[in-house]
Structure 1
Amino acid sequence: MIARSTGRWTGRVGRARGDPYRERGEGMDTAVGAGELARVHPDDLPDGLVIADHRGVVVCCNAAAARLTGTPAAEALGRPIERALPLEDQDGRPWWRLTDPYGGLATRTGQPERNLLLPGAREVLVSARYVRARPSGELLRLVVSLRGTEARQRIERGNAELIATVAHELRSPLTSVKGFTATLLARWERFTDEQKRLMLQTVDSDADRVTRLITELLDVSRIDSGRLEIRRQPVALGEAVRRRVDALVNNGQTADRFHLDIQEDLPNLWADPDKIDQVLVNLLENAVRHGSGRVTIEVHRAPATRTRQEGTAVTVSDEGPGIPEDAMQRVFTRFWRGSERGGTGLGLYIVKGIVEAHGGTVTVGRSTGGGARFRFILPAGTPAFLR
């Protein structure tokens, strides 16, 4: 937090004539606790900073502000704020004329962050602070903060992509559900019991797809906000793996497609069984859907290291084409898809969020057969509240 330790402003930046802060040792004082003061150079700030004095003349313009505005700091210094920083609102109206910081209401303390335009229709996020001699007193200093809009645009693109993905994934099962139910209601007597059963099974399967998508979206929201709840209890990880493989076999996969290597005497694991089951479902279905050949699942003890306590490691690998080296850094991001075989692109993002919420780690690599190899490690031990 930048604050004044004296009664006057001493900051002045002008790169064209060198760096006065380093030449004269000037800077901005910042309180760091217990009465200590540290000198902070305006160019060290990550956001743009423009400061005008009581006359509305620019006395400080840091490097970030010069980069965002395209105006060298030396040119901004000494100019009126409305000329050094010609901002407009979305309707093209001059922002300084609308806000009138020097002639407007003296009770105002600043302006909240808003999206404004620089010359050339360049967008920038702007907020302002009015520094007064006393409440409702004259304006001593106008402090303006500038930020680029790239981060906000990335969030907006991510939200738009999320909406598009959800709409696409919901359309197919809902169309099927609507079609079969409407057909059954209109022509119930014309179908045999076997035909009705087949239609209802399809509706039930599509309803499960919708439910799973909604669950994934809720999990993504909880992971992003840090609100993913973990309800720990003893988990037999080897048995959990066997159950998931049996479920895949019952759903049509051949038993010889899977090879299990489960070590005996695994360390005690306290975890959320539903969340761990979700991790296993995502990894195994990912291997079956996007890989080929035999899927190998290894469950072994992970010995303690200098940076990690003892735990249990689960490795899922296949014999498919694998993941390109340049894509491995993006595997656990939202909407990453390794092939065109469907899916929301959220499964591996959720896997990473669940494993890390348990205090574990997850990695991706290449298996000995050339396919993808996913490995996650969960720490062993009893929760503190049970010790």
Structure 2
Amino acid sequence: MADEMDPERRLKQQRDDLELLNQVMRHDIRNDLQLVGAYASLLEDHVDEDGEAYLEVIRESTESAVALTTTVRDLAEVMLREDAQQSGIALDRVLSQQVEEVRSAYAEAVFTVEGAFPEATVVADDMLGSVFRNLLRNAVQHNDKTPPKVDVSAAVDEEADVAEVRIADNGPGVPAEHRDEIFGKGEKGLDSPGAGIGLYLVRSLVETYGGDVWVQGNEPEGAVFAVRLPLAEG
């Protein structure tokens, strides 16, 4: 009988396998998807009216899959890192950057920033951008309105020593009975591919920072995803 692999060796092998999967996701699969998207764009002048509808489906599906590879990459990096050092991160800088990047990626959506983001320093690390990127994308991807509208605001509660970011949309909303489970690992509470893993990553990161994330109803329609993060000392 072969000797059983000791726990330390098994853990190392699992980490090596995850690192390999991460590399494949970051390079091979992502490059192939981007190639599909590029060739789809070249076909625009070579299809008839019926073909344009099919081509649009290809483009949208490719963009969604590319976004999913980014989320999987980020989740793998979270799982692979050891004793990540958290420090003070400028909330306004990270949040502004992600709003601009997602706005550029979804030209059909209307993004509104309510006031100026506070110049607050929160407890986080360089993965904080992934939190806001996933929530902003969700607000557009799972929206059934034309155009999708996303309102972003942030404020500081000095008494509680926290900063709170709110991302509101005009979509279908999230039923009260599903508002907690959509953050679960592998859940598809938003009824769309990739929603579960993205929100699972969001909660995993925010809880690592000592913060909290939740969803509530928006008025008159839609959902509001809120992220609360502790302020960094100093």
Q: TM-score range by the shorter chain?
A: 0.5 to 0.7
Question: CA 1:228–1:297 in 2, change beyond 3 Å: closer, same or farther?
Answer: farther
Between the aligned partners of 1:220 and 1:268, the Cα distance in structure 2 is: 21
Number of the residue aligned with 1:288: 140
Q: Does 1:212 align with 2:70?
A: yes
Unaligned runs of 5+ in 2: 1-20, 44-58
- C-alpha contact (below 8 Å) 2:92/2:120 kept by paired residues: no
Between the aligned partners of 1:247 and 1:360, the Cα distance in structure 2 is: 24
- C-alpha contact (below 8 Å) 2:211/2:229 kept by paired residues: yes
Cα deviation for residue 333 of structure 1 reads: 0.3
- C-alpha contact (below 8 Å) 1:367/1:373 kept by paired residues: yes
Number of the residue aligned with 1:338: 189
Number of the residue aligned with 1:299: 154
Q: Which residue, 121, 126, 129 being the options, matches 1:268?
A: 121
Aligned to 2:226, the other structure's residue is in SS state: strand
Q: Which residue, 343, 350, 356 being the options, matches 2:201?
A: 350
- C-alpha contact (below 8 Å) 1:177/1:207 kept by paired residues: no
Q: Which residue, 222, 232, 243 being the options, matches 2:87?
A: 232
Question: CA 1:264–1:248 in 2, change beyond 3 Å: closer, same or farther?
Answer: closer
Between the aligned partners of 1:381 and 1:175, the Cα distance in structure 2 is: 36
- C-alpha contact (below 8 Å) 1:365/1:373 kept by paired residues: yes
The amino acid of 1:177's aligned partner reads D
Which structure is richer in relative contact order (CA contacts within 8 A, separation 6 or more)? 2
Question: CA 1:229–1:175 in 2, change beyond 3 Å: closer, same or farther?
Answer: closer
Aligned length: 185
Q: Does 1:243 align with 2:94?
A: no
Q: What is the CA deviation profile of residues 180-203 of structure 1, one whole-angstrom value per residue up to 9, with x for unaligned ones?
A: 69xx9xxxxxxxxx959xxxxx9x
Number of the residue aligned with 1:363: 214
Give the root-mean-square deviation of aligned CA atoms: 3.6
The amino acid of 2:87's aligned partner reads R
Residue pairs, 1:90-101, within 5 angstroms? none
Cα deviation for residue 298 of structure 1 reads: 0.8
Look at both structures and tell me which one has the larger radius of gyration over its CA atoms: 1
Question: CA 1:322–1:209 in 2, change beyond 3 Å: closer, same or farther?
Answer: closer
Q: What is the CA deviation profile of residues 70-119 of structure 1, one whole-angstrom value per residue up to 9, with x for unaligned ones?
A: xxxxxxxxxxxxxxxxxxxxxxxxxxxxxxxxxxxxxxxxxxxxxxxxxx
Between the aligned partners of 1:261 and 1:279, the Cα distance in structure 2 is: 19
Normalized per residue, which structure has more helix? 2
Aligned to 2:155, the other structure's residue is in SS state: strand
- C-alpha contact (below 8 Å) 2:122/2:230 kept by paired residues: yes
Cα deviation for residue 175 of structure 1 reads: 10
Q: What TM-score do you get using the length of structure 2 for normalisation?
A: 0.64
Number of the residue aligned with 1:50: none
Cα deviation for residue 358 of structure 1 reads: 1.0
Question: CA 1:227–1:333 in 2, change beyond 3 Å: closer, same or farther?
Answer: farther
Between the aligned partners of 2:131 and 2:175, the Cα distance in structure 1 is: 22
Between the aligned partners of 2:118 and 2:74, the Cα distance in structure 1 is: 33
The amino acid of 2:137's aligned partner reads E
- C-alpha contact (below 8 Å) 2:218/2:224 kept by paired residues: yes
The amino acid of 2:124's aligned partner reads A
Between the aligned partners of 2:88 and 2:120, the Cα distance in structure 1 is: 14
Q: Which residue, 126, 129, 145 being the options, matches 1:277?
A: 129
Unaligned runs of 5+ in 1: 1-165, 185-193, 197-201
Between the aligned partners of 2:102 and 2:30, the Cα distance in structure 1 is: 26
**Moved >6 Å (runs of 4+):** 204-207
Aligned to 1:331, the other structure's residue is in SS state: helix
- C-alpha contact (below 8 Å) 1:336/1:345 kept by paired residues: yes
Between the aligned partners of 1:356 and 1:210, the Cα distance in structure 2 is: 22
Question: CA 1:270–1:320 in 2, change beyond 3 Å: closer, same or farther?
Answer: same
Q: What TM-score do you get using the length of structure 1 for normalisation?
A: 0.41
Aligned to 2:152, the other structure's residue is in SS state: strand
Cα deviation for residue 213 of structure 1 reads: 4.9
Cα deviation for residue 207 of structure 1 reads: 9.2
Residue pairs, 1:104-123, within 5 angstroms? none
